Structures are given as structure tokens and as C-alpha cells.
Structure 1
Amino acid sequence: MQEVSGTYVKVNNTGYGNGEYSGVVGKAIQPDPPLAALIVSFAGYPSALADKPNYNIIALDTSSYALIYVCDDFLDLGSENAWILARDKTLDPTIVDTLRGNLTSLGVDLTKMHITNQDPGYCPPV
């Protein structure tokens, strides 16, 4: 990873599975402002070697949602991911449709996307 100098954002990536929480803390830098393309890295993971943007913000409403797209070719192993992140458990369906349209225009195969189970019994709040 390129050496971080100046301002960066702490990234706290947390998940719940097998009855327990786990997570990793990393950092994000914006190498080419004002482009919404970030280098997000986590020590000890392949992303720590990133030297070009690997996290692209496609759409953003800071009070409601972010649409993220990542296409990576680390070690020639292709990986494509997209996330609709929201501050609330649900988003208005018209917003979701618009964000899905953004992904479709990028050529993303939406049939591979799924909705994360937000039921508190499945993934209890911290």
C-alpha cells in the first residue's frame, strides 16, 4: 500500500456470524480528489498492498445511503462486488431501484446480489 500521509478515514468493518461479532479496522484515503475513488486497506489482508483506488462511491446521500462498487484483479483473481449501504434497515423502494439502475448501467449482474437479513434475531444489535 502507498504510504498514507495527511488525512485518512478510519474504516471499521464488522460482521456477525456463528454467534459472534468479528471485525477489522483499516483506513481509506482519497488519492485523487474530487474523484470518489478511495484506496481502502486493512493490515494483514491483500488490500494492504493496494496502490490504486479499490473502492468507488457511485452514489451518495450522506443522510441515507451509499452505493459502492469494487472491481479487483488482485493476483489475477477477478472479484466484483457492490453494496448498497444504508443508515436504516430499509430504504424507499424507488431509491433502491435507482441505485440498482446505476449498477446496471455499469454492467453489474444484479442476479448475483442479495438483500442482507436485518432481522434482530438473526444479527442482534451491538
Structure 2
Amino acid sequence: MKLTQYRQSLAAVDVALASLLVLIMMPSVDSIVVVENGRCPAVTGMPGFDVERYKGTWHEFKRFPAFFEIGLECTSATYTSGPGGLVNVNNRGLLRISLFGKKVDVSKSSITGIASVPNAQRPAELIALFGADLGGETGCTPNYIIQDTDYTNYSVVFSCVEALGYNIQFAWILTRCKGLKPDKLEELEANLAKAGVDVSNFEKVDQTGCPFN
């Protein structure tokens, strides 16, 4: 991606963020995303992060409300090696609705993307893009921050963007084993809270009866 194309993309993103903020400030949709006043919380990536050990599949245990995950259950992300040091990302989920008191599977959802580490000194702070190729000079601020992980049981991920004096937050607690509560869950949430994140926004993700691993 050339620098001029990237700047055009950033302009489009700014317009999209402004439109999104107008939408999410409406009372009827206040539960689809977390919006706070001011700057993003000071969440930083864990030191000594090893992306090779992180690869594989992670399942959502808890997450912040996110407009792009409305109605999705059985959500997971799989990370594999990509070309040129990039990481391939495949996010999957199952759209379910409640019908006469029962949950009905509507459709499977999947989106692929790529992730990169823009600063080798901060390997746990990545740039993740979906629906477009990553290349050339991006200059992006990391949008996928791995605050903590032990690689085999849990991972804590945070993302935040700022626009028009507000910040939009996304957060996930992931597990290797589907639906298994991390032993350190309270500690993981407490560490996020220390960084200024309101962990009461977390919602449990249903991982039962999933049609895929």
C-alpha cells in the first residue's frame, strides 16, 4: 500500500468513526459498543511476548459489546504464519437468535485478516487489518494489544480508538479450551482495571453446542 493510498484510507476511517460515534450515542443502541469520554486507557502489551507460542486457536470467554459481534456465539480466532513475517488471522462465530425460548443457529460467520508487529520493541502490540492487504508504510497505531497471556490457557486482549473527544473500547478474555474459565480470571480483570478499563462491561460468551472446534 502506497503512502498516499494509506492516507486516503485513514481519511475514510475517520469519516467512518465519526459516523459510528453519532450512531452509538443514540439511546437505542447504547449496548452495542463501549464508549468513554477522553483518551484511551493506558493499556500496554506484555513484555517478552512470543508470537510463535501465541499462534493457534483461541476461544472467546468474555468480551466487551462489539457491533461487529452482535448475536455471535462460539466465537474464536486462529492465528497462523503468513508471508513476510505477517500473521494470518481467521475469526469465526455462529449467529444465533432466540425463537420461542430456544436458541436457533442461523448462519456461520467468518472473516480473515492479517496482523503485524510495527515495533519490535513492543511485540505484544500488533496491527490487525481485515478485508484488506497490509503492505508498505502503514504508520498505524497498534489496535490489538495483548496485555497478558500464558500461551496455554488464557489471553487478555484490548483495543481502543479515539475520535471526537471519545474513545471506543474493545476487550476480550480468550482461552485455549472452549468455555473453560481461566483460574486467574479475577486477577486478569483486576489488571485491566488498574489500567483504567471498566471491566464491568465484560459479557460471557456462549461456547456450547458449537458446530466447529
**Do both share a fold (TM > 0.5)?**
yes
The code of the aligned residue for 1:41 comes to L
Within-5 A mapping of 1:43-82: 43=131, 51-73=140-162, 78-82=167-171
Unaligned runs of 5+ in 1: none
Question: What is the TM-score when the length of structure 1 is the normalising length?
Answer: 0.80
CA distance in 2 between partners of 1:113 and 1:10 (Å): 26
Q: Which structure ranks higher in relative contact order (CA pairs < 8 Å, sequence separation ≥ 6)?
A: 2
The code of the aligned residue for 2:167 comes to G
SS in 2 for 1:97: helix
Contact 1:39–1:50 under 8 Å retained in 2: no
CA distance in 2 between partners of 1:75 and 1:13 (Å): 29
Partner of 1:101: 190
CA distance in 1 between partners of 2:143 and 2:171 (Å): 12
Within-5 A mapping of 1:83-102: 83-88=172-177, 89-92=179-182, 94-102=183-191
**2:121 equivalent to 1:31:** no
Unaligned runs of 5+ in 2: 7-82, 97-105, 133-137
Decide whether aligned partners of structure 1 residues 50 and 65 sit closer, same or farther in structure 2, where only a CA change above 3 A counts: farther
> For this pair of structures, how many residues does the alignment match?
118
Output the aligned Cα RMSD: 2.6
SS in 2 for 1:53: coil
CA distance in 1 between partners of 2:204 and 2:139 (Å): 28
Question: What is the TM-score when the length of structure 2 is the normalising length?
Answer: 0.49
Partner of 1:12: 90
